[in-house]
Homo-oligomer: A and B are copies of this chain.
């Protein structure tokens, strides 16, 4: 799987208790079932410790939340690409605002991902860094203005010019790169607005993970696509 069908919904599980361990597995199954029902591609980015069993018990595409820019060897405590691939990832987030990376390391992980046929989603904070990320040729760029992350205020409505500008600049560098819209997304209106601005999908987290009824929230999310 070097690329996935868009539009796509990627759910970042972060390190919430509501998306850890047994609950991570349940949530992944919920996404899988909504994906079947709606026909919209959905993927999960669980904690590293939960990747193996989600892969074992579901067919949903799985992303690592982070891969360390290391080669095999003496790197105690790091996340090795090869080990994550064997555990079952199909893609990876790179440079999420909560675990940002050095420029050279973003380049290294994108290249490593391509060599293992997994897709990469580089997270960025504005138009300028999105354009820079695009020159490194990941499959996706996910733009998330940091002030909106976890805010409940969707970037597609608060700063539509950031989404639109990112789409334009990224496509100008490489038209094969898809742009995702992150930060504050949680409803069907948010996702619809993102798609209309040129995004190929959304990257979201707390809006679904902490929802009273995640299945209902997911169904609403994709209701207008």
Contacts and interface: CB of A to CB of B under 8 A. Distances in A.
Interface of A: 12, 14-17, 20-22, 24, 45, 47-53, 65-66, 70, 72-80, 82-84, 86-87, 93, 95-107, 124-126, 128-129, 131-133, 135-136, 149-150, 173, 205-206
Contact of A22 (B48, B50, B51, B86): B86
Contacts of A78: 15, 98-99
21 contacts: A14-B73, A15-B74, A15-B75, A15-B76, A15-B78, A20-B80, A20-B83, A20-B86, A24-B83, A49-B51, A65-B77, A74-B98, A74-B149, A74-B206, A75-B99, A77-B99, A78-B98, A100-B102, A100-B104, A103-B124, A104-B125
Contact of A50 (B52, B74, B132): B52
CB-CB nearest 7 A-B residue pairs: A66-B77, A21-B86, A77-B99, A49-B87, A100-B102, A76-B98, A20-B83
A15 B80 contact: yes
Nearest to A53: B52
Given A14-B76, A98-B76, A128 B132 contact: no
A102 B104 contact: no
- Which of A14, A70, A104, A129 is packed against the most chain B CB atoms within 10 Å? A104
Given A47-B83, A100-B102, A100-B103, 13 more contacts: A14-B74, A15-B70, A66-B76, A66-B77, A74-B98, A76-B93, A76-B205, A78-B99, A100-B105, A101-B103, A103-B103, A103-B133, A131-B135
